Homo-oligomer: A and B are copies of this chain.
Amino acid sequence: MDTSVICPRFESAISLLSQRWTGLIIYQLLSGPQRFSHLTEVIGISGRLLSERLKNLEAQGLVTRTVYPETPVRIEYELTEKGFSLKPVMDEIQNWSQVWVEPSETVETK
């Protein structure tokens, strides 16, 4: 009967982080502005999905996109204040993973 016990804002935040790749993109951008191709390589995401995710993140005000008309063109993605303020969340996930994730639970060993 009780369908709305969970705080809608929390639900919204966790649905953001529940979307595949989004957390990793934000985490990666915490270390500074980066270009499209660098993100694909480091994260291991396809261009198709990275493009889609970055558009969403931009639309939600978490990321900005800046075009530098050099040659070849350079486009950098950077966290906004809203995006950067997820750092404490990422830090806690990092902390937890250091304590509780065993190497055997890691992708590489699978």
- Write the residues of chain A forming the contact surface with B, with a CB cutoff of 8 angstroms: 1-15, 17-24, 27-28, 41-44, 60, 82, 85-86, 88-89, 91-101, 103, 105-108
Chain B residue with the shortest CB-CB distance to A106: B8
A96 to B90 alpha-carbon distance, docked (Å): 11
B93 & A10 in contact (Cβ 8 Å cutoff): yes
Residues of B contacting A42 in the complex (Cβ-Cβ under 8 angstroms): 2-3, 5-6
A100 to B79 alpha-carbon distance, docked (Å): 14
Would you call the interface of chain A mostly helix, strand, loop, or mixed? helix
Identical copies of this chain, number: 2
A21 to B94 alpha-carbon distance, docked (Å): 20
Q: Which of B43, B82, B97 contacts A9 (CB 8 A)?
A: B97
A7 & B88 in contact (Cβ 8 Å cutoff): no
With A17-B17, A18-B23, A88-B92 as given contacts, are A107 and B44 in contact (CB-CB < 8 Å)?
no
Q: Which of B6, B18, B28, B88 contacts A19 (CB 8 A)?
A: B18
